[in-house]
Homo-oligomer: A and B are copies of this chain.
């Protein structure tokens, strides 16, 4: 299958959520126009995105909702579950663990770490906060598939280095720094400061 670009992957994720809502309401087919409305894009873009992995639509009708949803789940790798570890049990980390909204989509938080003794031992959603020094031992056989880094900025690179050494291949970084990792490790960043500053820029201009 051809390589799928980052923007496309993100749109697929949006389409999937929309399809699942429609599936829950028993809607059988959906057009590229309707899908475009959910994702802030155009019908042509939707068709391009979906055509990248075959012809699933029926001309004159649209796309079969449950089938397309299943196909997207497959492409995105969501037919399985992922073990997730959260490093950093401060405001952001604890909110993520307690939120639990990802569990339903197969992202299961199984480990939470911090270095602050005041936080170690607490349990949220049935997951105990462990001493960050225990990561190496804990992950020795069967570590997480994805690690969420929610430490202060100055600790994040050090954590990332340890994670790389432990064989972690996917990191979701909430720390406001750019993490340097080898090519075979993928990092996605969530940086609220950047979003706020982009809003600031947009308010000032435009």
Contacts and interface: CB of A to CB of B under 8 A. Distances in A.
A203 B170 contact: yes
Contact of A76 (B38, B146, B176, B204): B204
A94 interface: yes
A202 B12 CA distance: 13
Report the contact-size class of chain A (Cβ under 8 Å from the partner). 35 or more
Nearest to A200: B77
A182 to B, nearest CB: 13
Interface stretch (A61-69, A98-106, A126-134): A98-106
Count the copies: 2
Contacts of A145: 203
A147 to B, nearest CB: 10
A16 B198 CA distance: 12
Given A145-B203, A172-B195, A203-B186, A178 B91 contact: no
Interface string A172-203: 10001110000000101010111111111111
Interface of A: 1, 3-4, 6, 9-10, 12-14, 16-17, 38-40, 75-78, 82, 91-92, 94-96, 98-99, 101-102, 105, 107, 145-146, 169-172, 176-178, 186, 188, 190, 192-206
Given A38-B178, A102-B196, A186-B206, 15 more contacts: A4-B205, A9-B197, A10-B198, A13-B194, A17-B176, A17-B193, A39-B178, A76-B200, A77-B203, A94-B95, A170-B202, A171-B199, A172-B195, A188-B195, A188-B199
